[in-house]
Amino acid sequence: MSTETSPRTGPGPGAEPRVPLVEAAGITKRYGPTTALQDGRLTVMPGESHALVGRNGAGKSTLVTILTGLQAPDAGTVLFDGGAAPALSDRDAWRAKVACVYQKPTVVPELTVAENLFINRQPPGRGGLISWRKLRAEAARVLETWDVRVDPEARTAELKVEDRQMVEIARALSFGARFIVLDEPTAQLDNKEIERLFARMRALQESGVTFLFISHHLQEVYEVCQTVTVLRDARWIVTAPVAELPRAALVEAMAGEAVTAEESAARAHVPDDAPIRLKVTGLGSAAYRDIGLTIREGEVVGLAGSSGSGKVELAETLAGLYAPDAGSAELDGRKLPFGDVPAALKAGVGCVPRDRHDQGLVSGMSIGDNATMSVLGRLGRYGFVATARKRAEAAQLIARLDIHAEGPDQPVSDLSGGNAQKVVMARALASEPRLLVLINPTAGVDVRSKESLLARMDSARQDGTAVLVVSDEIDDLRRCDRVLVLFHGRVVADHPAGWHDHELIASIEGVDRG
């Protein structure tokens, strides 16, 4: 599949050709012997939301760095409004054309909204000092112009994720840019926050703003985008109107072949008399209250809820990150330690944390070091680790998780998002846990890596592990034997396998559908 629709002409014969806002053609970028992008193409028309999708390693990030002027292509051209892109050194000219809002915020959390909006360009006052009055007034004007409803004097760290994103968008627009790249903008948002973001995107489009939308959540592409471009194996594959590209065809374009997720009905039913591995009684904290649950041997239980439901905090408590205010938990009849991650690991708990960058990986270390960190005790004695044993263990984990890497010594920072997440999963499984806690295990990974990670979850349950999965992804929760829904810190529903999407969403949103 390598066809492209032409968005250049208007709706009828003799219509004036439309000039793309952004056009990239024949983009090639190499890093030594590695070709990160070859024949990269993108045509974005004014006022549209254009999706850029592809598996990790497809070349999306490379194309974005070229479109935002962070690096030059080895070959190919980039045009804005039909004219050549600015010189790489002219940062002001680039800021006036394009900006990228990344998954990880680039605002300075300790500064106010106003200070972030005008960082390094504060209005001068008398004697060369900053005029704070003018700064606040200008910030209020920018926020009002783009309907960003936050207090300009609020400390940015205190804002919700969605509001921080809108501050970054407003900052870009204040430079004159009308082309905004959104890189995984919904990764940390719940359903209602995503709906609000999409509503704001549509309103900004009506004001003449154009978006390049990068997401692994294909449903979002169909909800908010008009056109989609697919990259695969560092090459352009297809550009087409979203309405004309069925989901199956989009997945096939991304993967190179049809990808079919395993049906949950194919799993063996967990017997009602299977031994209870995890028993939680009366667990309570500021985020959740009076939680009682059990997970049997070989059972996968999902936790669903909005961002403020307490689901993540509950899972992190069971993984040893926090101590609750009340209640207890037992794993195979033994009291589970709280507030002590090493003790929880020793007790039989493995965990994939919610943020692989900040909590899951040590970026300066190798794949092997990261993957075996939880089992160093069995790789040596008296604090000394046998290098050969560590390499062998790491190589086995790399093969088991199908991590695409040069070997155990490769820096983990070199990996794509999907392979990096597999390293985090490998470490969690290396200790052969009896309870596996997975928090957003497939966030920000491509469709192939997602299926591979969920297959590892299935393997763990087949080995008798009790699995607790916290996820905002409906497809992740579909693999569970049952799903508990938290609402305002309490368990309000227990859905056995076979639930319908509207039933789960109704519970998450606190809606009684009768």
Please say whether the beta carbons of 398 and 367 come within 8 A: yes
Tell me: the pLDDT tens digits for 444-463? 777 778 888 888 898 888 88
Given a cut of 80, is residue 39 above it in pLDDT? Answer: yes
Longest CA–CA span in the chain (Å) reads 81
User: From the CA atom positions of the chain, what is the Rg in Å?
Assistant: 25
**Which residues of the chain are in CATH 3.40.50.300 domains?**
1-97+177-260, 264-358+416-508
The pLDDT assigned to 32 comes to: 84
Given a cut of 50, is residue 514 above it in pLDDT? Answer: no
Q: Which of 63-67, 97-101, 173-177 has the highest mean pLDDT?
A: 63-67
The pLDDT assigned to 265 comes to: 39
The pLDDT assigned to 272 comes to: 83
Q: With cut-offs at 50, 70 and 90, classify the pLDDT of residue 17.
A: low
Handedness of CA 159, 363, 423, 382 (dihedral sign): negative
d(CA 462, CA 455): 11
Q: With cut-offs at 50, 70 and 90, classify the pLDDT of residue 512.
A: very low
The pLDDT assigned to 464 comes to: 92
State the CATH architecture for 264-358+416-508: 3-Layer(aba) Sandwich (3.40)
DSSP string, 98-147: EEEE-SS--S-TTSBHHHHHTTT-PPB-GGG-B-HHHHHHHHHHHHHHTT
Phi, psi angles (nearest 5°) of residue 22? -135, 135
Q: Which two tokens stand for residue 275?
A: 């031994």
Residue owning tokens 């009055």 = 133
Over range 79-98, report the average pLDDT.
93
Given a cut of 60, is residue 8 above it in pLDDT? Answer: no
* Interior angle at CA 297, CA 293 and CA 299, nearest 5: 65
Over range 237-249, report the average pLDDT.
92
The pLDDT assigned to 40 comes to: 94
The pLDDT assigned to 137 comes to: 87
Better-predicted residue by pLDDT, 422 or 179: 179
The pLDDT assigned to 409 comes to: 72
Q: With cut-offs at 50, 70 and 90, classify the pLDDT of residue 263.
A: very low
Given a cut of 60, is residue 315 above it in pLDDT? Answer: yes
Sheet holding 291-296, edge to edge: 291-296, 276-284, 326-331, 334-335
Over range 411-421, report the average pLDDT.
77
In this predicted structure, which of 65-79, 342-356, 403-417 has the lowest mean pLDDT?
403-417
* Interior angle at CA 39, CA 36 and CA 40, nearest 5: 70
Please say whether the beta carbons of 99 and 64 come within 8 A: no
Helix or strand holding residue 84 (H, E): strand 83-84
Better-predicted residue by pLDDT, 11 or 213: 213
Task: Look up the pTM and report it.
Answer: 0.60
Given a cut of 90, is residue 49 above it in pLDDT? Answer: yes
The pLDDT assigned to 513 comes to: 41
The pLDDT assigned to 337 comes to: 93
Q: How far is CA 474 from CA 75, 259, 273, 323, 496, in A?
A: 41, 17, 28, 29, 14
Given a cut of 70, is residue 269 above it in pLDDT? Answer: yes
Residue owning tokens 């020793």 = 346
Tell me: the pLDDT tens digits for 117-139? 888 777 776 666 777 888 888 88
Q: Which two tokens stand for residue 264?
A: 């949950």
For the chain, the average pLDDT equals 83
In this predicted structure, which of 111-120, 272-281, 374-383 has the lowest mean pLDDT?
374-383
Q: With cut-offs at 50, 70 and 90, classify the pLDDT of residue 262.
A: very low
Q: Give which of 405, 461, 452, 400 is closest to 277, Cα–Cα.
A: 461
Q: With cut-offs at 50, 70 and 90, classify the pLDDT of residue 6.
A: very low
CATH number for the domain running over 1-97+177-260: 3.40.50.300
Better-predicted residue by pLDDT, 506 or 314: 314
Phi, psi angles (nearest 5°) of residue 356? -65, -25
Say whether 165 sits in a helix, a strand or coil.
helix
Given a cut of 90, is residue 87 above it in pLDDT? Answer: yes
Please say whether the beta carbons of 494 and 484 come within 8 A: yes
Given a cut of 70, is residue 211 above it in pLDDT? Answer: yes
Q: Which two tokens stand for residue 169?
A: 């968008």
The pLDDT assigned to 388 comes to: 63
DSSP string, 367-380: HHHHHTGGGGGGSE
The pLDDT assigned to 67 comes to: 96
Over range 275-297, report the average pLDDT.
95
The pLDDT assigned to 312 comes to: 93
CB crowding 408-435: b at 16 or more within 10 Å, else e: bebebeebbbbbbbbbbbbbbbbbebbb
Tell me: the pLDDT tens digits for 387-400? 666 677 667 777 77
Residues 6+ apart with CB under 8 A from 303: 311, 314, 315, 468, 469, 470, 471, 483, 484, 485, 486
Helix or strand holding residue 164 (H, E): helix 161-174
Over range 407-418, report the average pLDDT.
75
81-87 LR contacts (CB < 8 Å, sep 24+): 81/19, 81/21, 82/19, 82/20, 82/23
Tell me: the pLDDT tens digits for 473-485? 888 898 899 999 9
d(CA 363, CA 367): 9
Tell me: the pLDDT tens digits for 322-377? 999 999 999 999 999 999 988 998 999 999 888 776 666 767 677 777 777 655 55
Within 10 A of 60 (CB to CB), how many other CB atoms are there? 23
